[in-house]
Copies of this chain bind each other. A is one copy, B any other.
Amino acid sequence: MTGLFEGVYSTPHTQELTGSEAWLRAMLEVERALTVAAARVGLAPQSAAAAVTAACRPESFNLDALGAGAATEATPVIALVARLRSLVGPEASPYVHLAATSQDILDSAGALVARSALGPVLDDCRAVSDTLAALALEHRSTPQVGRTLLQSALVTTFGAACGNRLTGVDDALAGLEAVLRDRLAVQLGGPVGTLAGAADRAEQLIAAVAAELGLAEPVTPWHTARGRVAELAAACGILAGELAAVAQDVVLLSATELAEVEVATPGGSSAIPKKRNPAAAVLAVACAHRMPGLVATVLAGMPQELQRSAGRWQAEWGTLTEIVRLLAGTARHTRTALDGLRVDADRMHAHVDALVATGTVGGFGAAETFVDRALAAHAARTRPEGRP
């Protein structure tokens, strides 16, 4: 991803939280937690834990060197561990990377990166959800033409349209929150998943590392059972899809001939000065458009070979990074598109009048009932105890 397009397909903050330094920090955090946990369960001296903790500072590592190692060895962890061992000195060195394999570090680090980067993204999503709730409430009884296959059909209310989108976004948010809470797990199995280097205290060590990192404790190593990763990817893809549906509605309702809504901060044109494009909504659609292919890439990578895959696992790192970034872009742009959205209730009324003039019945049925249901469900979700 180029800097020129960084704010198009992500946010600068997410870009940073998923960048090389963030991955480095996360890998070091895993190495640190591993030795600290080893000390806690009696597999390493406290002095080693202290030494490793002291050495795990990103500024002591050269990203270029790690990147070169990754390109040669198919993992950046070999170079990372070598450097870390040299930093801690000969006494603590045997307790660095204890019992672990490269994939233990990278999978656990990936969970940390995902959790950290998705935090602010969820905030944007919740803002979208709250704005939809506010619009649903405000326009609970604002008549609007309901359009199916882009043809005027019957009357609904703009609030009901927002309520439907609200339910969709809230459900997808709940799905991602559940994955982050339950399925982001530590990985720790050693080279072939037997944790041979810590066999006597395997369960205690895994539990201790999981506690130290705040990640779930898996039943077994998941080096080649990638359901957790796929669930994360899918939940991101589904949330992006619901958000893009919101943004696409903004684009459609902003069309010159409809003009029922207008974004607060439209984009311009390099050729037509007075053009007012729903730029943020368009970018949300663009970001989300790139998601399904990435989710498919993760799913296609699930059948991983025996104890460690020869290619499919290595494809995950960049794919997950893109998924998180594009979800961030989708969420931020959707939020921007909704912020201060101008709703032209008069134009909505005029379109309703035109439809009714063709003989169509004019009431909006149970639209308000559905608004109330959507708002009640949203309120239940967002009560203090409801938010994760």
Q: Please choose the segment from A33-41, A122-130, A150-158 that sits at the chain B interface, where 4 or more of its residues have CB less than 8 A away.
A: A150-158
The residue on B at minimum CB distance from A2 is: B20
Give CA–CA (A293, B240) in the complex, Å. Answer: 16
The yes or no answer to A348 lying at the interface (CB within 8 A) is no
A92 is an interface residue with CB less than 8 A from chain B: no
B301 touches A296 (CB 8 A): no
**Interface residue? A349 (CB, 8 A):** no
Q: Is B150's CB under 8 angstroms from A310's CB? A: yes
A224 to B241, CA, bound (A): 11
Counting CB contacts under 8 A, is A48 at the interface? no
Q: Across the interface, which residues of B come within 8 angstroms of A281, CB to CB?
A: 310
Smallest distance from the beta carbon of A381 to chain B beta carbons, Å?
A: 11
Q: Mark A273-303, 1 if CB is under 8 A from B, else 0.
A: 0111111111111111111111111011111
B283 x A251 contact (CB < 8 A) = no
A78 touches B268 (CB 8 A): yes
Residue of B nearest to A351 (CB): B257
Q: Give A41 Cβ to nearest chain B Cβ, in Å.
A: 13
In the complex, the answer to whether B222 meets A306 with C-beta atoms within 8 Å is no
Q: Choose from B151, B153, B200, B269 the contact partner of A254 (Cβ within 8 Å).
A: B151
Most buried by B among A255, A258, A322, A363: A255
Cβ of A115 under 8 Å from chain B: no
Find out whether the CB atom of A310 lies under 8 angstroms from the CB atom of B282: yes
Is residue A93 within 8 Å, beta carbon to beta carbon, of the partner chain? no
Known: A102-B269, A295-B295, A311-B289. A230 touches B241 (CB 8 A): yes
Other-chain contact of A370, B220, B290, B313, B366 (Cβ < 8 Å): B220
Residues of B within 8 A of A351 (CB): 257
What are 6 A-B pairs with beta-carbon distances under 8 A?
A: A8-B74, A153-B275, A234-B238, A251-B311, A286-B311, A287-B315
